[in-house]
Structure 1
Amino acid sequence: MLESLWQDLRYGTRILVRSPGFTVAILVTLALGIGANTAIFSVIHGVLLRPLPYPDGERLVHLEQPVARQGGESAGFSPLELEDYRQRLTGIQRLVEYHSMPFNIVGQGEPRRVQTAVVSSGFFDTLGVRPLLGRTFLPDEEKPGAAPVLILSHAYWQRELGGDPTIVGKTFTMNGRTHTVIGVLPPVPQYPGENDVYMPVSACPFRSGEHWAHARTSRGLTVLGRLAPGVSIVEARAELERAAASLHQAWPEAYPEAQGFTATASRIQDRLVARARPTLLLLFVTAVFLLLIVCANVANLTLARLARREHELAVRVAVGAGQGRLARQLLTEHLLLSFLGGLLGLVVAVAGMELLVAFVARYTSRAVEVEVGAPMLLINLGLSLGTGLVLSLLPALPARTLFGAVAKNGSSGSRVSPRLRGFFIVSQVALSCVLLVGAGLMLRSMVRLHRVDPGFDPENVLTARVDLGWDRYREDDKVRAFAEQLVPRLEGLPGVTVVGLANELPLGGSEPWTMALQVEGEEVSAGQVRPRADLRSATSGYFHALGVPLLKGRLFEPGDRPDTAPVVVVNQAFARTYLAGGEPQGRRISFDEGRNWVTVVGVV
C-alpha cells in the first residue's frame, strides 16, 4: 500500500512538472484562496472561539450601570456602590474596581508618559494572574496613607526597562510621590485594557480624593467579578437587578427615577467581542465565498486537463490499471496540489495577518491574542485537506464516465459533459459576481470616505502632545497659566504662523468626551432620552491652525475667562440638528439638566 502510494506521488509530481502553466495557475489560485481563509479563520479562532487566557476565564464578568436617559450608556460605579454590591451579591464574587488614566513617570531613564491602571488590591486575584516577578498588591496597600507601589506590565518592562531582572524594589516618581516596584506581570493580554503600569487605588491622586470616598454619585469605575461556582450568568443578572432595586429604594436621590438607572452583568469574553462579532462573521462569509470560487475555478481547469489526458489514461488501462487505481491517482494529484497550495497560502496568510489584525483591533482588544502558531498551522492543514477532497469529488462523475469509456473502447469517444463544465463555469461566475459586487460597494465607500470634507485643512499642520504632571498642574488655573505662556513662545518660533491648543485632535482615534445636553426652551419630558454631544476644549487658535472656517458669530476671545459667562462654539451639524428654527448665536445649552447654562457664540 505504501509502495503504491509512493508511486502515485512520484507519478503525480512528474505530471505536474510536465504542465508548468497548469500547475502554476492552480497553485496561485489555491494559495490565494487557502491563504485568505487561513488568515480569516485564524483571527476568528483567536478572537471569537479562543477562551480568555485566565483560569476559568468564562466565569469572569463585567458589571454595568446603564442609564436610559443617557441612551443606555453605563454611568460606571462609585466606590460606595461597589462596596454595597460586595455586601449584597453572592452569585458574583471577588468584585474589584478598575479605571485607567495617563501619568508622568520619572526615574530609571528618561521621563515617560505611562498609561496607568488604578485597581483594587484583589484585581489580579480575581483575574487569576500570578506575577512573573515579585508579588501583587496587598489589601492594606489600597487603604488611605499606604506607601505607593507599582506593578509593571510585561510589555513596558521589556520595552522601556530592557527586562531588568532586578527591577523589583527600585523606585519611580509619579505625581510627586516615590513609588516602589513590587512586581512584573507575565506576558498575558491585559483586560479591560492595555496598560503600562498598575497602582492601587490609594496611590491615585483622583481616586483617593474625598469626593470619591463619600459621594455615591461619583461614578466612573469599571467593576469586574467572578461567577460563584454553580451560578449561571442569568442567575447572576437576576440577583444583581434585585440588589440594584434595593439601592434605588434606599437612596432615591442618587438614582432619579426619570434617569432610568439599571444594573446588568455580562461575561467579559462576550463583551470584548460584541462589536467585532458582526464584522468577523461577514469576513467569514466572504472567505467561504472566496474558497468556493477557488474550488470552482480549479475544478474547471481540472476537467479541461482531464479531457486532454485521455490517451494517457487509455495507455494505463491497457497495461492493467483499474478505475480504482486511476481515481486514486487523481486524488493523490489533487491532494498534492492542495498541500502545495496550502504551503504557499501559509505565506500569504502570515503576510496579511498584520493588516487583518490591525483592522480587527479597531473593534476588540482581543485582536492582540491572534498569533502565528499551532492553531494557524492546523487551520491551514485542515483547509488544504478539505480543499483537496472537494477538488477530487467535484470532477468525480465526469471522471467516472471518462474512465468507463476508456476502459471499454480505449478512448472516451467524447469530451467531458459540456453541461457539467457549464455548471462549474456558471457557479464560478455567479460567486465571483457576488464578491465583485461586495468589493465594488466597499471600494465606493472608501472613495466616498476619502472625498469627505473633514471640516479642516490638514496641510502644513504639525501636532505635538504636552503631558503635564498632576503633582504640579492639578488646578485648572495652573494649567491655564501654562497654556498662556506656551502659546506666545511657540508663535515666536521661525516658520510658525498660528498656534492652537485642544485636549484632543480631530479624528484622533480616542473616545470623545460625550455629555447629555438640553437646549433652553426645549423641555425634555421625564423618561425621554436626552440628546448627547461630543465636547472638546480648545483655544481660538485651534480653529485658525486647522483652517476651520467660521460660518456665523465669533470664535473664542481673550475676554472669555472662567470668571465671565461661559460660551461655546458649535459645528454646523450640531446647529442644524439641535438649534434649527432661528439663529444659533445667543442660544443657551445646559449639560447638567438646567443648573448651569453656556451660550453659543459661533458656528464653524
Structure 2
Amino acid sequence: MRELLRRIAYLWNRRRLESEMAEEMAYHRELLSPERRGEFGSDLRLREDAREVWGWGWVDRLRQDLAYGARVLRNSPGFTLTAVLVLASGIGVPLTVFRAAVSELEGGALPDPDSLVQLRRRAPGVFISNLPYPEFTFYAAKAKSFRSVIGVSERNQATFGETADGAAPEQIQIAFATANYFPEFGIVPAYGRMLTPDDERRDAEPVALVGELFWQRRLGGDSAVIGQTVRVNGRLVRVVGVMPRSARARSDLWMPLVRQPFVIDGSSLLTDWNSALDVYARLRPGVSVKASQQETLALAAGLHQLQPDRVRPGEYLEAHPILQFETNGAEFQIVLITVALVLLLLVAACANLGTLVLARGVTREREIRIRMALGAGRARVVRQLFTESLMLAALCGLCGLVLSTGILKWIELEHNPASTVLPNWRTIAVTFGVSLLAALVFGLPPALRLTSLVPRAGRVRGIFLAAQVAVSCLLLVVSGLLVGGLKQLGRVEPGFDYRHLLWVSPGLKAHGYGNAAAKAYLDAMGARAAAWPDVQAVSQVTLGPWGNIHMGAAWMGRQFGGNRVDPEFLRAMRMRVVRGRNFLPGEEGVVMITEAAARVLWHDEDALGKSLPWDAQGGAHGPTVVGVVANASTTVVGNPEPLEFYLPQSRSDARDSVLLVRIAGHPNDFVRRLQDAARSLDGRLQPAVPVVSDAYDGEMKNTSHALAGVAMLGFVAIVLSAIGLAGLAGYTVAQRTREIGLRIALGARAAQVVRSILAPMSRALVIGFACGALGGGAVARILRSGIPAMAGINVFDPLAYLGAMAFFSAVVALSIFAPGRRAIRINPSKALQHE
C-alpha cells in the first residue's frame, strides 16, 4: 500500500519531480570536469530509468503508442475509412440483433434461473398443461419444496376507456398475476411501482399496471397517468406503474390475480376447478426437481381423497426448468439462428480487416525492420502495432454503436415514434467487448507475423482470406436457399380456404359459464349467424385457426398439433376427406388426421382403424382413426407437412370453444356485426373476432421480413468481401510494382499480369468457397428443422449454389478490376525505379 501511495504521489507531482531531477542532473554535470562529463550518461536515458523506478513508465509508452497510432491512421485515410466501413458494419449488425433479442426475450434478468420452474399437471395416460386456481392455492400453501408459487392468467379480453377525456372504449388484452410474479421474474417497472401483496387484499383499491407499448400508444407516454383512474370494463381502476417492454409483458394491462372476478363479470376463476393458470414456482435451496415432484405426488394423493372427481389418481406436478422450457420454443430457436448468422458476419468482417492489415503491414516491413535494427524489441513493436489495431477497433465499435442505434430507431419509428433506443450500459459493455475481441482477431496475428524473424505473411493472409470468403459464401448460399424457400412458402397453400373465414371468441369460461350454459349460448349464437344470407357455414371448435393457443402431443419424436371440432368443421374450413369419413353427431373415441400425420405414424400402411399412441410411452390406446383429411396447416402458417389430428367435440369442451364462421363476402365487414350479435345474447361479454386472413397475411409478412433480414446478411457479407478483396488486390499491386513492371518489360500480356495477381489468392478463394457452400447447406438444414415455415427449403437446390458461385465470381472480378487495370498500365521504366 505504501508503494502504491508513493507511485500515486509521483504521478500527482510528476512535473515538479521531473523538473527537480533535471536540475539535479544539471548540477552534478557541472560539478564534473569537461573531459568527464561524457561519463555521466544521457539525460534522456537517465530520465527513462527514473520513470521506471517510479513505476509509471508504461504510461509514457502507452501515450507514445497512442500518439503514433493516431498519426499513422490519420496519414492513411483510405485504409482507415475502408477499415471503419468493414468493421463498423460487422459490429453494428450483430449489435443490433443483440439489442433487439435482449429487448424481446428479457423482462429483466431472471434472478437465479436454475431454481425457477414451470409447473404442469401430469397424470398417467393424460396430460393437462395448466392448474385450476383452487389447486394452485392448495400447492402454494402445502408444498414445502417451493419457496414461492406464482400464478398468471393471460389473454383475457376487456374494454378500456379513460374517464378524463371520454375517449371511445378500446378492446384490450389484460393479464392477471400474483404479486410475486414480478420480483421472481426480475421485472422492474419502467415508471411507478409494481404490484405488491397489499394490492391482493380483498379490501384494497383496484390497481393496475399498463404495458409500455399501450402506455405510449393510447396514453401518449405521459408519466402523469400514474396515480390516475381509468375505466376497465366499466370499473374504475387506479394506474400505479408502467410495465417494461419485454417478452413477458405483452399484455396491455396487468392486475392482481384475485381481481379477475372484479373486472370480468361472472368469472368463476377463483372457485372453478376447470379453470387454467400458468403456474411457476421457485425451488427452495437444495431441493431438486425430482424431489419436488415426489412431494407433489404425495400431496395430490391427499387432494384426490378430498376431490376425487377433480383430481386424477396418480396426479403430480411436473416441473420444467424455466430456461429449458423457454429455450425449446421456436421463437428462441429463430433468435439463436439469427445470432449465429450475424456472429458469422462479424467473423467475416474481422477476417476481412485482418487481410487488409496484413497486406498493408507488408508495405511497412522496411519501417518495422529499421525500428527493430535500431534496438526496438519485438514485444515493443508488437505492442505498437496492436495499439493501432485497438484504436481502430474502438473507432469502429463507436461507429457500429451509432449504426446500431440508427437502425433500431428507424425500425421503431415505424411502430412507435415516441420510443427511445438510446444504448444502456450493457450495450456499451458488449460493444467494448466485441471491439476488443475483434482487435485480437484482426490485429494480433498480423502483428506477430510481421515481426517474426522468419516472416510467413502469405500463410496467415491465406487463412484470413479463406475465412472471409467461406463466411461470405455461406451467407450467400443461405440467402439463395432462403429466397427459394420464400418463393416456395408463397406457393404453399394452407390446405383450406382462409380468405372468407373468421371466428368468434366470446370468452365464456372467463365469465363463469358452465359447459351446459356455454353450449346453449354457442348453439344460439351459431343459429343466429347461420340465418344470415352471407354465412355459408358455422362450426364449434376449441381452437381457431392460427390462434395464439395450441394443443398437441409428441409421437415418434415429432410434435403434432390438435383441435376439437364438430362435424361442420370440414365444411366451414373447406377441407376434404381423402380416405374414410367425417365425424358423426355425438360420436366419441374417434379421430381424423392429416395425410402427413398418417405417413409419419404408420408410413405406407392404411391409417384407418388404427389407434393413436395416446400415452407418451405408447402403452395406452387412444381414439381410432376414422378419416384421413388432405394436408391442412391450421396451427402453423406455411407448414407444407402439417402433422395434425382432430378430435370430436363433447359437451365438456363447450366453455372453451369458439365459433368458426365462413362468410361469402369480405370477412372484415362482419366483425362488428358478430360482436353485436354476441353481446346481444349477453351484454357482459367482450368478444374478440379475429379474421383468419389477417393472421395469415401478418404471419407471412413477419416470415418474409425475417427471411429478407437473413438474405440481407448475405448481401452485406458479400459487399464486405468485395471491399476486402479490392483492398488486398490494391496492396498486392503496390507491393509488387517492380515485379509487375519487370514482367511487362519482358513482354507479359495483360491477362498474364492479372493472373499473377490472382494466383496467390486463388487457393484461398477455392477453399473458402467450398467450405462456405458446405456450411451454407448445413445452416439451411438447421433452418429447415428449426422453423416449421421453412420445412420446404430444398437444401440441395442447384440454382442457389450456382447462383452463389456466379455472383461471387462476379464480385471477385469487380473487386480486382481497378487494381488489375492499374497494374497493366504500369510504366516499366518508372516501376523499376519504384521503392
Question: Is the structural similarity TM-score above 0.5?
Answer: yes
1:454 paired with 2:494, answer: yes
What's the counterpart of residue 85 of structure 1?
Answer: 139
Query: What is the Cα deviation at residue 30 of structure 1?
Result: 1.3
Query: What is the Cα deviation at residue 349 of structure 1?
Result: 3.4
Say which of 242, 249, 273 aligns to 2:295: 242
Query: What is the Cα deviation at residue 181 of structure 1?
Result: 0.8
Query: What is the Cα deviation at residue 105 of structure 1?
Result: 1.8
What's the counterpart of residue 580 of structure 1?
Answer: 607
What's the counterpart of residue 373 of structure 1?
Answer: 424
Q: Which amino acid aligns with 2:93?
A: A
Change (3 A) 1:267 1:5: same
What's the counterpart of residue 32 of structure 1?
Answer: 89
Distance 1:51 1:101 in 2: 18
1:396 paired with 2:447, answer: yes
Distance 2:386 2:459 in 1: 23
Distance 1:280 1:102 in 2: 28
Residue deviations 1:341-374 (CA, integer Å, cap 9, x gap): 32332244346669999xxxxxxxxxx9998422
Change (3 A) 1:503 1:280: same
Distance 1:263 1:54 in 2: 22
Query: What is the Cα deviation at residue 376 of structure 1?
Result: 1.6
Q: Which amino acid aligns with 1:113?
A: Q
What's the counterpart of residue 546 of structure 2?
Answer: 508
Residue deviations 1:15-39 (CA, integer Å, cap 9, x gap): 321xx2x444433321232223334
Q: Which moves more between the two structures, 88-97 or 506-515?
A: 506-515
What's the counterpart of residue 172 of structure 1?
Answer: 231
Query: What is the Cα deviation at residue 377 of structure 1?
Result: 1.8
Distance 1:44 1:391 in 2: 27
Residue deviations 1:290-333 (CA, integer Å, cap 9, x gap): 43333332222222223334566678789998867765553344
What's the counterpart of residue 118 of structure 1?
Answer: 176
SS of alignment partner, residue 194 of structure 1 = coil
Change (3 A) 1:462 1:168: farther
1:11 paired with 2:71, answer: yes
Query: What is the Cα deviation at residue 535 of structure 1?
Result: 1.8
What's the counterpart of residue 462 of structure 2?
Answer: 422
Residue deviations 1:483-511 (CA, integer Å, cap 9, x gap): 544466583xxxxx968778799763522
Query: What is the Cα deviation at residue 190 of structure 1?
Result: 6.9
CA contact (8 A) 1:27 1:341 kept: yes
Two-structure CA RMSD over aligned residues (Å) = 5.4
CA contact (8 A) 1:64 1:223 kept: yes
Query: What is the Cα deviation at residue 286 of structure 1?
Result: 4.2
1:307 paired with 2:307, answer: no
Change (3 A) 1:141 1:377: closer
Query: What is the Cα deviation at residue 379 of structure 1?
Result: 1.2
Q: Which amino acid aligns with 1:511?
A: I
Residues 494-505 of structure 1 aligned to structure 2 (within 5 Å):
none
What's the counterpart of residue 104 of structure 1?
Answer: 158
Distance 1:268 1:421 in 2: 46
Change (3 A) 1:326 1:92: closer
SS of alignment partner, residue 243 of structure 2 = coil
Say which of 230, 236, 251 aligns to 2:304: 251
Q: Which amino acid aligns with 1:160?
A: R
What's the counterpart of residue 408 of structure 1?
Answer: none
What's the counterpart of residue 277 of structure 2?
Answer: 221
TM-score, L = length of structure 2: 0.51
Query: What is the Cα deviation at residue 382 of structure 1?
Result: 1.9
What's the counterpart of residue 386 of structure 1?
Answer: 437
Q: Which moves more between the two structures, 377-386 or 508-517?
A: 508-517
What's the counterpart of residue 750 of structure 2?
Answer: none
CA contact (8 A) 2:192 2:240 kept: yes
1:534 paired with 2:553, answer: no
CA contact (8 A) 1:80 1:214 kept: yes
What's the counterpart of residue 410 of structure 1?
Answer: none
TM-score, L = length of structure 1: 0.67
Distance 1:199 1:41 in 2: 33
Say which of 212, 218, 228 aligns to 1:160: 218
Q: Which amino acid aligns with 1:378?
A: A
CA contact (8 A) 1:241 1:264 kept: no
Change (3 A) 1:472 1:97: closer
SS of alignment partner, residue 546 of structure 2 = coil
Distance 2:180 2:70 in 1: 63
What's the counterpart of residue 119 of structure 2?
Answer: 63
Residue deviations 1:88-112 (CA, integer Å, cap 9, x gap): 2234234343222322325422222
What's the counterpart of residue 151 of structure 1?
Answer: 208
SS of alignment partner, residue 98 of structure 1 = strand
Distance 2:66 2:652 in 1: 85
CA contact (8 A) 2:211 2:249 kept: no
Distance 1:306 1:35 in 2: 26
Q: Which amino acid aligns with 2:75?
A: I
Query: What is the Cα deviation at residue 85 of structure 1?
Result: 1.8
Residue deviations 1:425-474 (CA, integer Å, cap 9, x gap): 3444455555556556655554544443321356xx36767665867997
SS of alignment partner, residue 316 of structure 2 = coil
SS of alignment partner, residue 271 of structure 2 = helix
Change (3 A) 1:280 1:214: closer
Change (3 A) 1:594 1:68: farther
CA contact (8 A) 2:153 2:257 kept: no
Distance 1:40 1:586 in 2: 43
Distance 1:595 1:51 in 2: 37
Distance 1:135 1:341 in 2: 40
SS of alignment partner, residue 217 of structure 2 = helix
Distance 2:311 2:598 in 1: 32
Q: Which amino acid aligns with 2:295?
A: R
Q: Which amino acid aligns with 2:450?
A: A
CA contact (8 A) 1:53 1:188 kept: no
Q: Which amino acid aligns with 1:386?
A: L
Change (3 A) 1:548 1:286: same
Distance 2:196 2:393 in 1: 53
Query: What is the Cα deviation at residue 390 of structure 1?
Result: 2.9
Residue deviations 1:361-405 (CA, integer Å, cap 9, x gap): xxxxxxx9998422122211222222223322211244225xx79
Query: What is the Cα deviation at residue 161 of structure 1?
Result: 3.6
CA contact (8 A) 1:107 1:171 kept: yes
Structure having the higher helix fraction is 2
Residue deviations 1:11-67 (CA, integer Å, cap 9, x gap): 2233321xx2x444433321232223334555676688x794577777654333234
Change (3 A) 1:89 1:320: closer
CA contact (8 A) 2:199 2:206 kept: no
Distance 1:314 1:65 in 2: 74
Bigger relative contact order (CA 8 A; separation at least 6): 1
Query: What is the Cα deviation at residue 555 of structure 1?
Result: 8.5
Residue deviations 1:521-564 (CA, integer Å, cap 9, x gap): xxxxxxx99x97522668969957x76567579999xxx9x9x7
CA contact (8 A) 1:300 1:421 kept: yes
Query: What is the Cα deviation at residue 274 of structure 1?
Result: 4.5
CA contact (8 A) 2:543 2:563 kept: no
Distance 2:342 2:187 in 1: 36
CA contact (8 A) 2:107 2:244 kept: no
SS of alignment partner, residue 235 of structure 2 = strand
CA contact (8 A) 2:565 2:646 kept: no
Residue deviations 1:188-229 (CA, integer Å, cap 9, x gap): 3578553223254364388976696374xx35222234445x
Q: Which amino acid aligns with 2:158?
A: N
Distance 1:239 1:183 in 2: 37
Change (3 A) 1:378 1:457: same
